[in-house]
Chains A and B, each alone.
Chain A
Amino acid sequence: MSEKLSIVLFSGTVDKLMAASIIASGAAAMQKEVTIFATFYGLFALRKGDWKQNRRISKDCEDYGAQFLQVLEAKKAPNWLETLQSAMDIGNVKVKACGLTMDLLSIKLEDLEPIVSEIVGVAHFVEEASDGQIIFL
């Protein structure tokens, strides 16, 4: 059985989304089984088309926020969704949606980017992640 890396994607800011997608890419390349559990703001950011206007920056990084976004644009860095899609192309990466957030916001699976494969509860996630590393972002 391959090693696992699970990411709890709680934040919906560009900085955290990039971090999550880049770590997921590296882990996928190194043949780990990657699960991203998108919850709360992380799930908001996965609503269809949200990435196009998402310029949100984490509060603790806001001093650098404008500069960060500007550099990403100027250097034409791929956006986090593209990075995540290429991680899925080369390896085993699954994105799962948190059932609670879906219920609270009345979101359906079809309202989310197609990279999200299914809706799961927290117990499912914890159980699946239990024999691997977990990163909270």
Chain B
Amino acid sequence: MDGIKITKESDARGSFCPGPLMEMIRLVRSAKVGDVVAVISGDEGSKKDIPAWIQKARYELVGMEEVTAGATRILCRKNH
């Protein structure tokens, strides 16, 4: 995710479902409109779960990238 400034990131590896999603919700809540926040999750389910929440909450899924094997960084923009 070159060129995208992440305001806050939380490493939720080692946290179980729904922990990483809860972390994303907390980060977005504490962010300012326009900020991009990220969560790194080692939980496979997060790759479906967090985007589903982002869509429901009508935020923007900026992207997902593999950090290491089995760990994904999920980026969300608080666009409203």
Contact = CB atoms under 8 A, between A and B. Distances in A.
A49 interface: no
Nearest to A21: B18
A78 B25 contact: no
B16 A31 contact: no
Nearest to A90: B25
A29 B18 contact: yes
Contact of A25 (B18, B26, B57): B18
Contact of A22 (B17, B25, B57): B17
Interface string B6-41: 000000001011110110011001000000000000
Contacts of B25: 29, 90
B52 interface: yes
Nearest to B24: A29
Interface string A89-101: 1100000000000
B10 to A, nearest CB: 14
A25 B20 CA distance: 12
Chain B residues touching A, range: 10 to 19
User: Which of A30, A83, A90: most chain B CB closer than 10 A?
Assistant: A90
User: Which of A22, A30, A31, A75: most chain B CB closer than 10 A?
Assistant: A30
A125 to B, nearest CB: 25
A29 B50 CA distance: 10
Contacts of A135: none
Contacts of B56: 29-31
Contact of A30 (B16, B22, B26, B53): B53
Question: Top 4 closest A-B pairs, CB basis?
Answer: A25-B18, A90-B25, A86-B22, A29-B53
Interface of B: 14, 16-19, 21-22, 25-26, 29, 49, 52-53, 56-57
19 contacts: A22-B17, A22-B18, A25-B18, A25-B21, A26-B21, A29-B18, A29-B22, A29-B25, A75-B16, A77-B16, A78-B16, A78-B19, A83-B18, A86-B22, A89-B22, A90-B22, A90-B25, A90-B26, A90-B29
